[in-house]
Structure 1
């Protein structure tokens, strides 16, 4: 059973211990950096991803101040828990969380490194459509609620 929980004093240190596979480390900022970033950007929501009582991942999302749309800024499943369908289940919960918010938008955006095939496959399976390369070099993908 996958669930999203708030990150607080009881679990933030465990969240910073989560790690992607070694070959994925260049694809995402550390959870420590992301948690710190969220404290200076109150529009960003951070969530711990659990499988039962086991912490298995991390996500950060929020409304982008430049375009007014929801963006998923960070999404990761710990290396020990990848390949079990947890990423897809957790992404579904994040999409549902965003949809349930009063300030939701009609779309969700995210960006990932173009050579991150695992991310490409996951996001495509969830309905994200690639929209091209951003000036920073990330592949941009859009999910539409319609």
Structure 2
């Protein structure tokens, strides 16, 4: 595997929109199309494709949240056809390494649906620690860097 994060451009954004999670995961996160629209209005956030070589296998949206001054992973997904092959772990490591390089990054946070057992397992395997439930109902996890 040659996993890397790739800037989304006018040439590849449609490939990103075509990525989708498994049917039983669709209630856990917003679509990539929605995320690409949303990131246009989040000043300190970026949306990137997760590639294996030249092929896009996933998507991430992350950045600095001005509300708490921590870096957050707002969206992280691997396309259903690439799940179960290790892309989640390797892609998440790439995202964490990328965020660690950001100025002032000391804590990386993520929120996810409490019923999303796969997400919880993935984040725990990467060293994220449980931070309780958010007022909006998501389970929170954080990684000190």
TM-score, normalised on structure 1? 0.96
TM-score, normalised on structure 2? 0.97
- Structure 2, unaligned stretches of length 5 or more? none
- For residue 100 of structure 1, what is the aligned residue in structure 2? 101
Cα distance in 2 for residues equivalent to 1:75 and 1:37: 14
Deviation at 1:104, TM superposition (A): 3.2
Once the two structures are superposed, residues 54-92 of structure 1 have per-residue CA deviations (whole angstroms, 9 ceiling, x without a partner) of 111000000001000000000000000000000100110
- For residue 121 of structure 1, what is the aligned residue in structure 2? 121
Cα distance in 1 for residues equivalent to 2:104 and 2:9: 24
- For residue 132 of structure 2, what is the aligned residue in structure 1? 132
Cα distance in 1 for residues equivalent to 2:115 and 2:69: 28
RMSD, matched Cα = 0.7
Cα distance in 1 for residues equivalent to 2:123 and 2:54: 25
Cα distance in 2 for residues equivalent to 1:42 and 1:68: 13
- Structure 1, unaligned stretches of length 5 or more? none
- For residue 55 of structure 2, what is the aligned residue in structure 1? 54
- Which has the higher mean CA deviation after the structures are superposed, 33-42 or 65-74? 33-42
Cα distance in 1 for residues equivalent to 2:21 and 2:97: 24
User: Which segments of structure 1 move beyond 2 Å, counting only runs of 4 or more?
Assistant: none
